[in-house]
Amino acid sequence: MLLWHKLSDLVPKNWANHFWGSSKFSNRWQASRCAIDLNRRWIDSVCSGECRARGDDLLIPMEQQCVRMQTDDQLPIGSQQGIRGFASGSCCVLVQRSCSLRLQFSLVTASCFAAFYEEQYERLKAKLRQRAENGAVLTWKLGKNPYFKGASEAALKRLLGVKKHDVVVLPPKVPSAENSNVTLPKNFDARLQWPKCEIIRYIKDQSNCGSCWAVSTASVISDRYCIANQGRAQPFLSEEELVSCCRVCGDGCFGGFPEMALVYWATRGVPTGEPYGFNSSCKPYSIKPCATCPSIAETPKCQHQCVEGYRGKLSTDRYFGKRAYSLSNERQIMEDIYANGPVVAAFTVYDDFYYYTGGVYSHSEWVDPAGRHAVRVIGWGVDEKSKKPYWLVANSWSEEFGENGLFRILRGSNECGIEEEMVAAQPRLPS
């Protein structure tokens, strides 16, 4: 172990500010309790690829410029010549003032970042214990989900891939007099309402790709197609197609727009595509389950034919939607799910959500937002113990998250913004 006073003799005193800022660094460093090993090697930062438009900066992934040693992250130290760096989980990002600039920097190995998920859990648990002593009541269970074991902060945040338009893209659903007269049940579960559509029960795994926007949308349109044809056909429709081929939808594994995925379904059509590991569809998901892999998955290349071995043709394998719309209030959302099936919802994920293991979730006031996520709302209910109303939601983080892949979130108060960003569409059935 290299003591801090020795390390400080070798690097600029304010190097930590290059990464997190003084306050964040201090808290995270003290909490990590990890050893620092100074590698006495010097590396030239060589510009490669195109410069980004913003101030001629260049982002260089760790795999190109840093040496990875087992599970350790190699973090560049800001030098006095002006190079800046910050840690992003398993990736170091170098921001250079000029693409032609070549500077030298040292590396620090910090094993602690691999245990970020577990360490943040201990901090949250201590905070909640303190709140409970002051009379606060938590309506959900805090725990560690196996899906995130050993995850870095970057690995957690890259799962949140919803982008937000500045304006409303989809028109609001026109209120129906027929639906407004329907008596809605206290509890509703699409899996029980349409038992022939077993596809509704399936929980997907988006892996180390920010494709929640595509996975949730593909799941909803698959569910709705089955419901509309009364279970006679229930193909998985392809999130792979949306991630790799829908240019207007966003940036693939780096985020996208659920509403544009619905527009794509209506205009271009979406072929069949099962989850990873299956091979009896046109475009199955190609990203192997690996939520905590060191780096984000590359967006798959758009393929203009079905996978080898599938007998169908892409041109005849497409399914189409129609009438994409947005939903604006609790009652309308419930009516639409009751009549047509699950809907897509986008919401703000807070740091404590990764530790949800049961109950009716509502975010803690003192936690920070981590990003925006898309999910599939399949029903609603009222919790027997807490008497809290909730939405029943299917996530895309495998069955190792929450309540076997599901979670319940507070209903009726726009918790985490979930009730202001729900969208859906109707399928176009063969004539």
**Residues noted as catalytic:** 212, 373, 395
How far apart, in whole angstroms, are the C-alpha atoms of residue 160 and residue 310?
32
Strand-pairing partners, residue 95, are 84
Handedness of CA 208, 209, 213, 214 (dihedral sign): negative
Rounded Cα gap, residues 13 and 412, in angstroms = 50
DSSP 243-294: HHH-GGGB-GGG-B-HHHHHHHHHHT-B-B-PPTT--SSSS---S-S-TT-S
Instruction: Report in angstroms the alpha-carbon separations of 147 from 57, 244, 291, 355.
Output: 35, 25, 7, 10
Q: Residue 41 pairs with which residues in a beta bridge?
A: none
**CB half-sphere exposure, 221, CA atoms < 13 A:** 34
Query: For 308, how many CA atoms within 13 A lie in the half-sphere containing its CB?
Result: 0
The end-to-end CA distance of the chain, in Å, is 72
For residue 377, count other CB atoms closer than 10 A to its CB: 28
